[in-house]
Amino acid sequence: MRLRIACRQAKTLALALSLSLGIGGWSGGVLAQEVVAEPAAIQEHVAAPEGVQLVDEIAVTASRTERRVFDTPQSVTVITREQIEASPFDNVEDIVRQAAGIYNFRHFALHTNGIASPLKMRGVGANRVLFLVDGVPQNDNFNNAIAWVAFGYIPKKAIERIEIVRGPMSALYGSEGLGGVINVITKKPQEPRQTNVTGKAGNGHTFGGDVYHNQKIQDAGILFTGGYDKSHGFFMTSPIESYNIKRYSQIGRIFGKATYDFTPQSHLTYSQIFYIHNQGQGRPNFHNTLGLFQYNLMYEHKWDQVSFRGVTYLNQAAKTAFQDTTGDNYTSLNRKEKFPLPSVWGLDLQTTFFPVTWATITTGAMVKKIWWTYEEQYMKILREAGAQGEQLFLSPFVNADLTFFQEKLIINLGARFDWIESSQGRSWDSRPEGGRPAYDNSYATTQWTNFSPKGGVTYHPDDRTALKVSAGTGFRAPSLFELYKIQVRGGGTFFRWANPDLKPEKITSYDVGVERFFTDQFWGRVTFYQSWARDYIGDRLIRQFRRGGRLFSEYQLENISKVNIHGLEAELKWDPRQDLTLFSNYTWNVSKIKQDDANPDLEGNYLPTDPVHKFHFGLWYKNPDLVNVLLQGNYYITLYFDNENIYKSGGYFTLDASISRRFWKQVELTLDLENIFNRKYPLFVAADGVTIVPGFLVMGKMTLHF
């Protein structure tokens, strides 16, 4: 029945996309005239069938080794450096939102969004998309640093490309990626030298600047980019109360990379990220400061039939959140929430073999350790509260790509085993709200194991067509935050108990798709997907009471939900001229609660903040001698804001643009325009008000190239 519905949707879709002239501008590619330069052993294994031009897109995320996107069984999108530079946005979460299957439910002017990561993929809900930088996990078991800052800490100038793999990827990457994986690949030092300086200014009293330098001298190379941004911000609430102020922001970021080539086949790379911000969240005593410090050391060596890659990394985040209280109409500071440098250390080793011409086998193992501490400091009373915990991950994995019949049939198989231990768990509070008794709880060590298989098949019936089927499983281990931290909000009116007995969330998924180059300039892809998720972690209401005229609500985190998901992604891209690209994509997604033990009345409801229908379309005109223009539209239909499906938006449309021109080779002017029609659409809707976007935004930039 669902397949028949999907077919009818596909027919309607094809007509709509024909009228809009193409999708997937950030997804597909034309057939290239030249083979991408790769090491001999790898090039042999990604070569196209005889007589076929190689598709000019290579990705590593889908199988941990270089493969043509056209050959991967999964639905993969590569956003190139040129597309990233042309985007009117600076943050990764805004750049990728044009891709099929993805929705960004926040706005960068909001700055932070509590403990909910902003991106959703294929309808699996918040905090279930794995984010990588050069293959290194960033939201390690959701340590909250990513949710607080989203993905804006990666300087745009440092990004070479962004790879998006849809569907669960725990077979290669373990916990987190129930909906898919986003991997940001940063640039390498190169010749000739590149140096530039950019200044920018926009509405909301926003200004900033950055520098970029990239150079390689013989065997050594260095890349450096850093910048500073400041904004007086915007009002983003409706109605605006007397205690509301603009959401302001001050941000500094640095990315550095140093490389050394021992031989043409042996490379050492060190990279480092430094990020700091001070951001206001709409009230005088409701703001936060955050520092991110990340260090990454990678060694690669390639022989004729074997390649090795080893990465060790340390990710640290130090945050202080300043919380006000409803008791005095938000006029005073109630407490500080401190996360004094939670840390993640990891080691990822992998080896790729080419034992025969038709097989590529990648095997390896990962070890990861997380240390997490949380403290509360109260301003008006003597009170001690906090939490702590540690997690250890040990995970071997294997992946195989097998090709038959002169590359017409490609089979992918993979699996990973994860052993996870949570220990040193503790939470304490000497004076809880609502008359609750003091507590100091220590928790027993907990262990989980998970086996994550995946498989897929790509079949090329002819030189221009790919038929694809893939299936896999994913899981997300409970975070230290969910296991041990007691969440208090609203001056104590909201109180959520952590749960050290939580089980990992799990998902089983498959997709079926077809991808075709109708001509060298016209490409399309349609994919149907279906998923079954279980043991979703959610809030169970266990008690409500009134004290002093205030309503107190008490919740418990539990594995309470089953979610059924199905949808359709359709993409087209057309290059009618060498300097013009037309694109669009459409996603139809249905994510419904199948079972909720805490509240059966929710069964059959849609998951919140994920539209049923998503349209993206636009054009990209590339003429360096005249002007470069990227125009992109976004249309979202049927969006719910709560589990009860009471608050709903029928839909909204936005139009964004970026216009740039380079003068005398040294000066480049750019004008970025967001939400051109000044739509004040809602981000969140609740009984006590609406959070809205700031409307039309403009940013002018001048870049000097040296």
Each residue's pLDDT tens digit, 354-403: 999 999 999 999 999 999 999 999 998 999 999 999 999 999 999 999 99
What would the pLDDT profile of 550-601 be if each residue is shown by its tens digit? 777 888 888 988 999 999 999 999 999 999 999 999 999 999 999 988 789 9
pLDDT at 43: 39
**Residue 309, pLDDT score:** 97
Residues 303 and 263: their CA atoms lie apart, in Å, by 11
Residue type, 105: F
What would the CATH number be for the domain defined by 2-705?
2.40.170.20
Residue 144 pLDDT: 52
Q: Give 241's DSSP letter.
A: P
156: closest CA among 215, 196, 122?
196
Three-class DSSP labels, 43-112: HHHHCCCCCCCCECCEECCCCCCCEEHHHCCCCEEEECHHHHHHCCCCCHHHHHHHCCCEEECCCHHHCC
Tokens of 484: 């041990």
Q: Which of 16-30, 279-293, 403-417, 419-433 has the lowest mean pLDDT?
A: 16-30
Measure the CA–CA gap between 612 and 141, rounded to whole angstroms: 28
Q: Which of 572, 511, 512 is nearest to 13 (CA)?
A: 572
3-state secondary structure (DSSP) of residue 464: coil
- Tell me the average pLDDT across 4-33: 39
| Average pLDDT of the chain, as a whole number | 88
Dig out the tokens for 529 from the structure: 């997907």
Torsions phi, psi for 703 (to 5 deg):
-115, 130
Main-chain dihedrals φ then ψ at residue 553, nearest 5 degrees: -120, 135
* Per-residue CA distances from 110 to 17, 282, 410 (Å): 33, 9, 44
Q: What residue spans define the domains of the chain?
A: 2-705
Tokens 């000497």 locate to 430
Work out the pLDDT band at 423, boundaries 50, 70, 90: very high
Per-residue model confidence as pLDDT tens digits over 676-692: 999 999 988 877 789 99
pLDDT at position 325? 83
Give how far Cα 575 sits from Cα of 578, 620, 627, Å. Answer: 7, 10, 18
Say if CB 178 and CB 505 are below 8 A apart.
yes
CA distance 570 to 22: 10
**Sheet of strand 689-692: strand arrangement:** 237-238, 689-692, 682-686
| Largest interatomic CA distance in the chain | 79
203 vs 109, 196, 230, 672, 696, CA distance in Å? Answer: 12, 24, 11, 11, 9
Task: Count how many residues are written for the chain.
Answer: 706
Q: Inform me whether the pLDDT recorded for 48 exceeds 90.
A: no
Query: What's residue 23's pLDDT?
Result: 36
Q: Would you place residue 13 in the very low, low, confident or very high pLDDT band (cuts 50, 70, 90)?
A: very low
Of the listed ranges 11-20, 228-237, 649-658, the one predicted with least confidence? 11-20
Mean pLDDT across 481-499: 81
Q: Which amino acid is at 688?
A: D
Cβ 352 vs Cβ 304: under 8 Å:
no
Per-residue pLDDT at 643: 86
Q: How many other CB atoms are found less than 10 A from the CB of residue 192?
A: 7
Residue 18: pLDDT band (50, 70, 90) is very low
Residue 633: both structure tokens together: 């539209």
Q: With pLDDT > 90 as the criterion, what percentage of the chain qualifies?
A: 71
Give yes or no for residue 497 having a pLDDT over 50: yes
Rounded-to-integer distance, Cα 462 and Cα 408, Å: 8
- Name which of 395, 405, 400 is nearest 451 in CA terms: 395
Q: Say which range, 28-42, 91-105, 230-244, 377-391, has the weakest mean pLDDT.
A: 28-42
Residue 477, number of CB atoms within 10 A of its CB: 24
The pLDDT score that the predictor gives to residue 561 is 87
Q: Which run of H or of E encompasses 358?
A: none
Better pLDDT: 37 or 170: 170
**Closest by CA position to 368, among listed 394, 350, 334, 405:** 394
Nearest C-alpha neighbor of 98 from the set 87, 82, 111, 112: 87
CB 515 within 8 A of CB 531: no
Query: How far is Cα of residue 689 from the mean position of the Cα atoms in its chain?
Result: 28
> Among 280-294, 531-545, 624-638, which is the least confidently predicted range?
531-545
